[in-house]
Structure 1
Amino acid sequence: MSEAVTRTVTSSPGLLASLDPLLREWLPRQRWFAGKGRPVTGFSLVAVTELLPTGGKLGLYHLLVRAHQPSTPGGESHPGDCYQLLIGAREALPPRLAPALIGHVEEGPLAGHTVYEALYDPRPAELLLEAMRTQARIGGLRFERDPAQEIRGGLVPRVMTAEQSNSSVVYGDTFILKLLRRIVPGVNPDLELPLALAREGCPRVPAPVAWLRAELGGEPYVLGVLQPFLQGAADGWELALRELAKGEDFGAEARALGRATAEVHTALARALPTVTLAHHQVQSMADGMMERLDTAAQAVPALRPYAPGLRTAFTALADLAAEGHTWTAQRVHGDLHLGQCLRSPAGQWWLIDFEGEPSKPLSERRLPQPPVRDIAGMLRSFDYAALSADPPAPEWAETCRAAYCSGYAEVSGRDPRTDPVLLRAHETDKAVYEVLYEARHRPDWLPVPMAAIERYAASDLI
């Protein structure tokens, strides 16, 4: 780390001004950019740390920048999301780095240099791993690690291209570093929960090896997490679609996944506080579900005929709470579906990506929830896989749903199906979210959640 310049510049208008026109073009094209559909009207610099000085062949800057966008088309600009960028600067970009190009800087401190997404470049990626290995402090950046775990140097990095909301680099076949792109202050569950599960000895979640933090304005920021790379593991969604295409039964895998989910929930309940949801809290939960339904129905006309039937799922939950029924809430995954699960070649299931729904505030993502929220997400995921197959296979989904719930009960002692009102409310709420998401982002997929909406609206219990 001898090349690193250990200082953080919190105000560098010359640097940001020179990058501004390039970032306005480049940033909205990134898959992880959350403000699509609205123009970027400007940037403000939260912090910049010079990791490698531009006096050499390669300059390297770590930036936290806030992108300003109008709240609505044609509306006023306001401070928007804060993004983490790793910007490399070279006098000339080698052909191998062409996909990483951001642009050529005409003026300012980087004038005459070409800037690019540095994660594609092995040297910057190696520097990040070395900083974590040595627990470096570079300006306001804090590279920390679990001292009980070894981090070998010399591992060849490669950037993963399949990420959507974040970016990941794999080192050899040993570690994977997830860099969070949209940054918010506070305790991030993507580090908090895996660390808690590691302390409990839960084998279903890869334990964090190291992490990157920053302290800005007295607020903590989690910027990245290094975990073991699960070599040869299969993505749950891709695995399910492959088995569907072959006409293979997925029941045994669904049951094993239910057991894994219950193991994680049980460990989280031991590691972190649980609460009892009283009447007013359940009423507030049901009110939130009804508000989301109203919002979705206003935006998606196809949903409106089903709204009265769907609303009964939420009123039934509120009515049960009014009768004195209570539920236990705890920390949960928060965004569980087949794509958040990995299966080893030996058949072991892991749960990953505990960030929760990125669109929700961090404080909301860290609230205790009924475990059925995760269960409903997985049940909806089986339904999604079955209805996206050609031809659709609803009976496959039913088999998987039953097996998953049975597997969950084997470990937890509680079958989710024995609390049908709570399960119906959460599944309906999830399907309403899916309708709004698909209508906005993937209209061709809208029939998938709409098929579930029709079923849920016509049924008293799922």
Structure 2
Amino acid sequence: MLPPESALARDLAAWLPRQRWFGGKDGPIDELSIGTATELRTGDPGLHHLVLDVRQNGATDRYQVLLGVRRDLPDRLRHAEIGGPPGPDGTRDRLYDAAHDPDLTRVLLDGLASEASAGPLRFRRAGGAGIRTDLASLPITAEQSNTSLLFGDTYICKLFRRLSDGVNLDLEVNLALTRGGCAHVPAVLGWIELEPERGARTAGDGEPVTLGLLSDYLHTGADGWSLAIASVRDWFAHTPPPGDGEWAELDASVAGGDFAAEAERLGAATAEVHQALAGAFGVRSLPAGEVHAMAARMNAELTATCRAVPGLAPHAKALTAAFLDLAAQAGPLPVQRVHGDYHLGQVLRTESGWTLLDFEGEPARTQHERRALAHPLRDVAGMLRSFEYAARFLIAKSGTVPPEPGGRLETRAHAWAARNRAAFCRGYAAGGGADPAAHSVLIRAFEFEKAVYEVRYEAQNRPAWLPVPLTSLAHLAT
């Protein structure tokens, strides 16, 4: 059985800041209360679903926890314990994060397959989906903001730890694309939600809160970042024949792991997904005045970042000019739903082609900002920046990023990035997307906006990586 709520809240408040997915590590928890507690399985082990209300700095966030209860905790689950072992009398049950317990996570599959309800929880199955219930789960431990469970090599269930109001973007977008027959997203099989009258924060909020999403698991897939890094490694290790001279440092096509053909295919897949998003959610026109305001916000962010990171200041003139060019565009801008946080880590290469993942948007942004419509070339710019990062990852990892262009590895990094950027843009245009070459003002502004964000992020979180965006800007801002 569960301890008294006050004792449970104390244990959870001590445990929560140690979890990778907890978003409030920069400050103490002022108050933690249990918003909902739903028993999903009785007996030993037992399973309870909790929604926690966590107050910090005057704001309240909600987190989802699957709470396991066992009389005796096996060694394989000790790392997930909440609250520590019982005292000498041994009267207290052991509490732990049940996302790590395949004996209990199977309850989620049972609920989805039968479309069950439990208290305020609703298990939904996508139309026509058949869901197996005999699969054991394994959590993906590398994830930062959510917890994903692999059920065999068949399903992946993403549990949204920090809950947002209403339907989660990842569910909303993926479900619409699945229903539209888009071949470049994993098929949605089901989802878990909290009924609106208990989940809504504000009066009149009629949407349920998304707790989890079950999709096909693409077990043959390799993520784009790993494939790109392998290509860069081959290129850095390539030794040109004697006599080839400086040109040998510029032709990235000669290395064994050339990525350009895959970059081109990825560009085409991206364009097809953008077209599917436009068909599912529509397109509207952003008036010229709002485009001007958008450019002003970009420039204001540049000014603030230059104050915080002086190393960006030498590029400020070129970046400001790009934002002014965007503001000077007279015509309106078509905007639609986009990915919102697009990079090589968000795509998988499977045996049937490229697949796009995680349509939640940038984690640091508000729900309103994530839902904002944007021009599709904003996603293109995000991927172009990702090629710049992939090109320099091995240099940064070795601690030898040069402060300015000129070194041999930086020359090769720039050549690799340029080749794959061009291939991606070529594929995107051929796949029906707006040709980046014909929208140079727009793509340049979006890419510089993303670079400013990267500079600020690296300065705050990974100072050793700061030369990566700064070095790439030395090439791009000329």
TM-score higher than 0.5? yes
Q: Aligned to 2:52, which of 57, 65, 69?
A: 65
8 Å CA contact 1:61, 1:88 repeated in 2 = yes
| 1:344-363 C-alpha deviation (Å, 9 max, x unpaired) | 1x251100101111221212
Instruction: Name 1:287's counterpart in structure 2.
Output: 296
Cα distance per residue 1:412-440 (max 9 Å; x no partner)? 15311211111011000101111111111
Q: Give me the whole-angstrom Cα distance separating, in 1, the residues matched to 2:233 and 2:278.
A: 37
Q: Helix, strand or coil: the match of 1:246?
A: helix
8 Å CA contact 1:176, 1:226 repeated in 2: yes
Match of 2:364 in 1: 359
Give the aligned partner of residue 46 of structure 1.
35
Q: Distance in 2 between matches of 1:237 and 1:343?
A: 10
SS at match of 1:412: coil
- 8 Å contact from structure 2 (residues 45, 104) kept in 1: no
Structure 1 residue 111 displacement after superposition: 6.9
Match of 1:129 in 2: 109
C-alpha contact (below 8 Å) 1:32/1:165 kept by paired residues: yes
Give me the whole-angstrom Cα distance separating, in 2, the residues matched to 1:183 and 1:285: 28
- Which stretch of the first structure deviates more once superposed, 128-137 or 433-442? 433-442
In 2 relative to 1, CA 82–296 (structure 1 residues): closer, same or farther, beyond 3 Å? farther
The answer to whether the 8 Å contact 1:159/1:168 transfers is yes
Where 2:418 maps in the other structure, the secondary structure is helix
- C-alpha distance 231-433 of structure 1, shift in aligned 2 (>3 A): same
Unaligned runs of 5+ in 2: 201-205, 236-256, 396-408
Change over 3 Å in CA distance of 1:243–1:454 after alignment to 2: closer
Is 2:348 the counterpart of 1:342? Answer: yes
Q: What does 1:80-99 align with in structure 2 at a 5 Å threshold?
A: 80-99=60-79
What is the alpha-carbon root mean square deviation over aligned residues? 2.0
1:243 is the counterpart of 2:249: no
Q: Map of 1:248-397 to 2, 5 A cutoff?
A: 248-320=257-329, 324-344=330-350, 346=351, 348-390=353-395, 391-392=409-410, 393-397=413-417
3-state SS of the aligned residue for 1:39? coil
Matched, 1:224 2:173: no
- The answer to whether the 8 A contact 1:105-1:111 is kept is no
**Cα pair 2:103 2:136 within 8 Å, conserved:** no
C-alpha distance in 2, partners of 1:356/1:60?
Answer: 31
- Does the aligned pair in 1 maintain the 2:267–2:427 contact within 8 Å? yes
Could you report, residue by residue, the CA deviation over 1:307-333 in whole angstroms, capped at 9, with x for unpaired residues?
A: 33322221110111xxx2222111111
- Aligned ranges for residues 151-230 of structure 1 at < 5 Å? 151-215=131-195, 216-217=199-200, 218-230=206-218
Aligned position for 1:139: 119
TM-superposition CA deviations, 1:17-52 (whole Å, max 9, x none): 212332233212211111222122221322221212
* Aligned residue type for 1:286: A
1:417 aligns with 2:423: no
Q: Please, which of 12, 30, 41 is the counterpart of residue 23 of structure 1? A: 12
- Alignment partner of 2:78: what SS? helix
Q: TM-score, normalised by structure 2?
A: 0.86
SS state of the match for residue 124, structure 1?
helix
Q: How much does 1:220 deviate?
A: 2.0
Unaligned runs of 5+ in 1: 6-11, 71-77
Deviation at 1:15, TM superposition (A): 4.2
Change (3 A) 1:16 1:434: farther
Corresponding residue SS for 2:60: coil
Rounded to whole Å, the distance in 1 between the matches of 2:26 and 2:322 is 33
Deviates more, 1:328-337 or 1:187-196: 187-196
Q: CA deviation at 1:455?
A: 3.5
Partners of 1:36 and 1:298 in 2: CA distance: 25
Correspondence for 1:448 among 468, 472, 475:
468
Identity across the alignment (%): 47
Q: Is the 8 A contact 1:186 1:362 kept in 2?
A: no
Q: 1:72-102 CA distances to partner (integer Å, 9 max, x unpaired)? A: xxxxxx1332111111122221001122122
